Amino acid sequence: MVDIKIDLKEANELPVIEVTGEVDVYTAPKLKSRILSLIDNQQYSMIIDLNGVDFMDSSGLGVLVGGLKRVGPHEGNIALVLNRPNILKIFKITGLDKVFKIYGSVEEVPK
Amino acid sequence: MALLKKSLNKNQAISLKIPAEASFISLVRLVVAAHLRENSVFEEELEDLKLVLSEFLAKAIEAHLTEIFSLEISFEKDLATILIQNLEEFKPDALFNSRYLNFEAIISLIDDFDLILGEKQRIEVKITKRFNFQ
C-alpha cells in the first residue's frame, strides 16, 4: 500500500512541511496532524511543499483548506509549493488556486 | 510501411476484490495506472481516472455501501471501463459530491457514468473513460 512521507524543514524563517507520496482519504489525516501540531506550537505561517506529491484527492484539499482556516484568525498564512501539473489541475478545477498562494519552489516564497 | 494504430491491449480485464477500507484505495489506483501506463496513454488522462476512482471509492466507504469492493477493470481499443459491483442502493450525486469537487467537476473528467441494477437489487457502477495515446 502506498504511504505518505512528511518531513519538517525550515526555509525563509518559516517551517516547511515537505510531503512526499499520495494524499488521499487514508493518508490525509497524517498531513492534518502535522499541520495541527505546528498550529498548536503557535506557528501560524508555514510553507507546505507538495512537489513530491504524486496524487491528491479532495481529502487532501480539505486538510489544506482546514489548515488555512485555522491560521487565518492569527494573521497566519499557508504558502503552497507546487509545480506538478496533475496536482495543480485539482486546485484549478476547484478554484482553490485563487485561495492559496502557490509558488513553484520553496525559494520563491517571500519572507 | 504498415500503419500502426495504437490501442489498449484488446479484451484485457482485471478483476479485483478488496476490503472497502481507505487503505486499499491506493491499490486500485496502482493497478489501473500500471496497466494504462504499459499502453502509453496520456498521463493527464490517467490522472483524471485515478482521481475519479479515488473520490468514488472514498465516498462509497464513507456511506458503507459494501464491505468488499468487487471491481472489473477492462480495456478495449481506447476505452477503459471500470465496473464496481455489488453496492447498496445510493444516489450517485451524493457519492461524488465533496465540498471541493462537485459532481459536475468529477463527471467532466470521465466520459460516462452509469448505474446498473445488478443481482439481488444490488447496484453496479460503470465508469468509462476514453484514452488518447502518446
The predicted model scores a pTM of 0.89
The percentage of residues in chain B with a pLDDT greater than 90, rounded to a whole number, is 37
In a domain, B25, yes or no: yes
Q: Which residue of chain B has the CA closest to A65?
A: B100
Pick the closest to residue A80 from A62, A103, A64, A63 (CA basis). Answer: A103
In a domain, B19, yes or no: yes
CATH code of residue B81? 3.30.565.10
Residue A15 phi/psi, 5-degree rounding, is: -70, 140
Please determine, for residue B109, whether its predicted confidence score (pLDDT) is greater than 80.
yes
| Chain A closest-CA separation from residue B120 CA (Å) | 30
User: CA–CA separation, A110 vs B88, rounded Å?
Assistant: 50
Q: Which residues of B touch A (CB under 8 A)?
A: 22-27, 29-30, 43-44, 47, 50-51, 54-55, 58, 61-62, 98-101, 105, 108
Q: Which residue of chain B has the CA closest to A64?
A: B100
Q: Mean pLDDT: which of A70-79, B1-10, B82-91 is highest?
A: A70-79
User: CA–CA separation, B107 vs B111, rounded Å?
Assistant: 7
Domain that holds residue B124: 13-130
> Which triple of cell numbers denotes residue B96?
461524488
Q: Which residue of chain A has the CA closest to B43?
A: A86
The pLDDT tens digits of the residues spanning B25-72 come to 999 999 989 888 887 788 899 999 999 999 999 989 988 889 999 999
Res. B4 pLDDT band, cuts 50 70 90 = very low
Chain A residues in contact with B16 by the CB 8 A cut-off are none
Q: Given an 8 Å threshold on Cβ–Cβ distance, is B98 in contact with A85? A: no
Please determine, for residue B110, whether its predicted confidence score (pLDDT) is greater than 90.
yes
Q: List per-block mean pLDDT (blocks of 10 residues) for chain A, which spans 111 residues.
A: 87 95 96 97 97 96 96 95 95 94 94 77
For chain A positions 28-47, those within 8 Å of chain B (CB to CB) are: none
In terms of DSSP H, where are the helices of chain A?
28-40, 58-71, 85-94
Q: What are the structural domains, with CATH classification, of chain A? A: 20-105 (3.30.750.24)
- What integer pLDDT is reported at residue B1 of this predicted model? 39
Q: Given an 8 Å threshold on Cβ–Cβ distance, is A86 in contact with B23? A: no
Q: Given an 8 Å threshold on Cβ–Cβ distance, is B58 in contact with A57? A: yes
Q: Which of A22, A23, A93, A97 to mutate to test the interface with B (most CBs of B within 10 A)?
A: A93
Domain count, chain B: 1
**Which H/E stretch holds residue B13?**
strand B8-19
In a domain, B68, yes or no: yes
In a domain, B30, yes or no: yes
Q: Which of A57, A86, A92 to mutate to test the interface with B (most CBs of B within 10 A)?
A: A57
> Which triple of cell numbers denotes residue A31?
498531513
List the beta strands (DSSP E) in B34-105.
68-77, 79-87
